[in-house]
Amino acid sequence: MRLSNMILPVWFCLGAALSAADIKAERDVAVRMRDGVVLRADVFRPGEGGSFPVLVMRTPYGKQGKKFDAFVKAGYIVVTQDARGRYKSGGKWESFYREDTHDAEDGFDTVEWAAKLPGSNGKVGTFGISYDAFLQWRLAALRPPSLVAMSAHSIPSSLSALEGPGTIRPGRRLNWFYTGMSPDMRLRSGAEGVKAKNEAAKLWKDGEGERLLHFLPWLDLPKQVFEDEDDAVKAWLRAPHRDPWRFIAACPEVSVPNLDVVGWFDHCNDGIEIHRTMRSTGRTEVARNGQRLIIGPWSHTGHGNRKVGTVDFGADAALNVVQTQIRWFDHWMKGQAEGANPTAPVRIFVMGANRWRDEQEWPPARAKAHTLYLHSGGHANKPDGDGTLVDKPLAAASDTYRYDPRDPVPTLWSAQMFTLPADQAPLAKRQDILVYQSEALTTALEVTGYPEVILHAVSSAPDTDFFARLIDVAPDGTNRDIASGMVRARYRDGLDKPRLVTSGELVEYRIKLRPTSNEFQPGHRIRLDITSSDFPNYDRNHNTAADQNADATLEVATQTIHHGERHPSCLVLPVIAPKP
């Protein structure tokens, strides 16, 4: 059979599954690693006898209470394992801030152990989202012989892509450690402090979260935040240009196909870059041609839901992710026949139009750059100001605002601190956001790919941040976030090439926005917001020349955006032309 005919659509109709039966569970089964450390796994089996493929999920979040009935009833043995140093497993947990961990070897040994379980047919797949996906990419580069396929969802290509330019993203990271990771570390080590996640979450909500989010500097955070990983986190903060993950460099060593499901509003959607790299550099033809990517209108949680935050993207946005994974593994691990049509490597949900579409690559090669230029009479500081987006640069002008890190622009996100397609109305009265809007569209305009903003900017500070946000303005006044991006001035040439700016120096900044697909409807406006903060989603820039991970001084910066023929600040949109 030709390889192209072996690639199965991940959204084709589900074939016959095993009849529902009692599920046999074994708890805390010992799995000995090559260095003698014992990890603990739960094993779930179909109640009836037979030979089955095995699906493995390794997690640092606690294997207890996870439901895998659908996978087992579809004819799989499921293994879920506490990662090293977490909950029931032995050893010491090593976070993803470390250059070298046991994650890869532990994953290899677990896959090969699972392949030899009673009732296993010797074929193993891995699955899981976020950190569970991180653990999959760690082990994949070692190529365990029994590994057939992966379904690693929603993990970025590097630590800096997850965190931000040279520092942590405090809203997610501090909450993640304080309420999720550190309680179990304290329980295991006997350190003082809360040892239950629910107690830590209550303390965070009752005021500890606000205290920690405004703590300065990060390198002086108390050990109780990061516990046993305090040294590892702070070592990375001292040298944030390092990439301890090295996922992109490892792609040529990975030999199996992967299914990735991610969302346009997922802060982890830089994992798309792993997909792109695997398509070109994967070790085998199966790995290169077998990568599949589904991008929906979701955040980091709620993959498959039609509603995200307050926005309902319609019935077509709903996706049964578990059944999609089952169909994926049924093909690669059970050899089920392909459907009538060839499968596209990428499937995207086009927001606005609220429909799915297949693509042959990401981003679509057929997208054409459409440039809109910033213009104003010098008063673009609010939505009712005079900032506009026009088709060609007009007379030279500029807009100015003050960025005070003591009063940053607040992040509009969920109570769980995940990004959303948020209406920007709560920020309408702020003077530190420049707003540029197009005229109402007369025809639909689809933007699919990576929008880019080019700013010609002057700051009074030696270092500062610039944020850009693309917004869909509906006729009823709703201002829905579509995509955003940012640049830290000192890292404009790269994390490994820090370079301060001179006060008053005119600098060109290029801001790549996160990936998106949105069809702006007739009557809607395209809006671009420019500001200098999004806190606590991103760290506040202190506007100083000091190491901002080590210094607590905060200064106010005066920011000026120049536009016009001499300094053509602009928004570049990747536009998909409608079919004739």
Catalytic residues: 130, 266, 300
* Radius of gyration from C-alpha coordinates of the chain: 25
Measure the CA–CA gap between 461 and 464, rounded to whole angstroms: 6
| Tokens read off for 380 | 């673009």
CB atoms within 10 A of CB 340: 6
Give the rounded distance of the alpha carbon of 485 from its chain centre. 13
CA distances from 360 to 292, 347, 469 (A): 10, 9, 27
Look up residue 259 and give its two tokens: 């299914």
| Alpha carbons 3 and 225: distance in angstroms, whole number | 50
Residues whose CB falls within 8 Å of the CB of residue 377, separated by 6 or more in sequence, listed in order: 386, 397
Q: Which residues share a beta bridge with 307? A: 312
CA distance 576 to 363: 11
CA 312 to mean position of chain CA atoms: 21
For residue 539, give the nearest of 479, 415, 322, 547 by alpha carbon. Answer: 547
Task: Compute the distance between CA of residue 374 and CA of residue 570 in angstroms, rounded to an integer.
Answer: 5
CB-based contact 286:257 (threshold 8 Å): yes
Asked whether the beta carbons of 60 and 180 are under 8 A apart, the reply is no
Nearest by Cα to 526 from 428, 447, 434: 447
Record the tokens describing residue 316, joined without a space.
């077509």
Quick check: bond before 536 cis, omega within 30? yes
Residue 519 phi, psi dihedral angles, 5° rounding:
-100, 110
Chain centroid to Cα 509, Å, comes to 23
Q: Judge contact between 71 and 78, C-beta under 8 A.
A: yes
Query: Is the separation of the CB atoms in 403 and 434 below 8 Å?
Result: no
CA distance 369 to 570: 12
Burial class from Cβ neighbours inside 10 Å (0-12, 13-18, 19+) for residue 391 reads: exposed
